Structure 1
């Protein structure tokens, strides 16, 4: 019993630390990837919020694991084991989805970039995100700067591209098609590589956290099985 209690308490501490890590990753994704995810046509903009919510829940339940092991409360141990099972399933689904559907995520970015380019000047939120993206990644357009030729905004501006396409504000001739001083590379290849690589790390971390739950589930079940059932979860005095 003592070994099981100490093992479960140690696992709960590791579980709590994993939840804190997930919370930090969620905050990082919200700050670092937020402007990129806004431009996606897929559902991945919700990913940072899901990470934040899951990390907060894991932190709370990590304390519950320590408390249930210390007090040998059979009901709490069963509840803790059920929560670990739910986290296991959710982590497997999230991790496998991130690994298997990275191509769909990339396609969502491609569609989202085209939509942002067509709506430039009308949707201020996406316009700001696209400008920030073009400056940060030193890119212009989706596949190349020539994508702006067909955009309604560029037509209204007599063939101009946004200043965010310029390598430097001074000396940038942002008139198409013979433009000089512009970023020639498109944004899709750069943002897709950046987000896909980071999504891979997030997905593998989710899978690792999910597999970690197996240890906690086994420990919680073994400890709960050794505690006799009593009314209100009260154990007999030692």
Structure 2
């Protein structure tokens, strides 16, 4: 039994560390992906919060696993095993969903980017998110910088610069602010990023979703080891319990 006890305690420590990783990833996702999730028309804004909550729960239950192995209590071991089963199911569902629904996520970003361009002068939150993405990914518009030309914001800029019909893009599209700041474009558009943001956003989110899904699936499959160890230790304890003395 001592070997099973040591193995389960070692696993519980690894499980606790995995919870710490999930908590860290949740914080990173909250900081790094929030601007991207704001622009998605799909309902994924709470994904970082889910990671944070899951990581916190795993931290607590990893600690419970160490205690249950140390005190060798059947009820605690069985409770810990049931929690690991729940984590296994949830992890498989979350990881597979992230892999299979990446196309839906991409489509949500496409329509979200289009809406952000059209409502640029009206929706400040989406405008700020779009500006941040255009600066960070060095892109402009949805599929190209020309997507801005028919936007209400660009038409307003052209009205403010009478005689210029070349279209206008926000300063966040500029490689350098000089000669580009919210003004109609010249014939040579060398001062702006001409590639659209949709492909770059999709690549960025898809890559990160793949890594997150892979880690989630790996952690979920790791739970099988913990389930087996907790069940074996609980069974061993049950077999070693003295039979009740008949009265």
Range class of TM-score, shorter chain: over 0.9
In the aligned structure 2, how far is the partner of 1:149 from the partner of 1:73?
69
SS at match of 1:202: helix
- 1:169 aligned to which of 158, 163, 177: 177
In the aligned structure 2, how far is the partner of 1:177 from the partner of 1:227?
80
- 1:186 aligned to which of 193, 196, 219: 196
Stretch deviating more after TM superposition (158-167 or 168-177): 168-177
TM-score by length of 2: 0.89
Please name the residue that 1:35 is paired with: 35
Please name the residue that 1:6 is paired with: 6
Please name the residue that 1:86 is paired with: 86
- Asked if the contact 1:19/1:54 (under 8 Å) is kept, the reply is yes
Q: Deviations over 1:138-168 (max 9, x none)?
A: 1110000110122111122224221111111
SS at match of 1:227: helix
| Cα deviation, residue 195, structure 1 | 0.9
After TM superposition, list the pairs within 5 Å mapping 1:12-31 onto structure 2: 12-31=12-31
| Cα deviation, residue 178, structure 1 | 4.1
Please name the residue that 1:218 is paired with: 228
| Cα deviation, residue 70, structure 1 | 0.4
- Asked if the contact 2:157/2:184 (under 8 Å) is kept, the reply is no
In the aligned structure 2, how far is the partner of 1:176 from the partner of 1:45?
35
Stretch deviating more after TM superposition (167-176 or 198-207): 167-176
In the aligned structure 1, how far is the partner of 2:86 from the partner of 2:135?
41
Stretch deviating more after TM superposition (90-99 or 21-30): 21-30
Question: What is the RMSD computed on CA atoms of the aligned residues?
Answer: 1.6
In the aligned structure 1, how far is the partner of 2:188 from the partner of 2:18?
50
SS at match of 1:142: coil
| Long gaps (5+) in structure 2 | 159-166, 243-247
Q: Deviations over 1:43-85 (max 9, x none)?
A: 2322211111111110110000000110111111111111100
TM-score by length of 1: 0.92
In the aligned structure 2, how far is the partner of 1:87 from the partner of 1:151?
46
| Long gaps (5+) in structure 1 | 230-234
In the aligned structure 2, how far is the partner of 1:32 from the partner of 1:44?
14
Please name the residue that 2:129 is paired with: 129
Please name the residue that 2:210 is paired with: 200
In the aligned structure 2, how far is the partner of 1:123 from the partner of 1:113?
12
SS at match of 1:171: coil
After TM superposition, list the pairs within 5 Å mapping 1:120-159 onto structure 2: 120-158=120-158, 159=167
In the aligned structure 2, how far is the partner of 1:168 from the partner of 1:51?
37
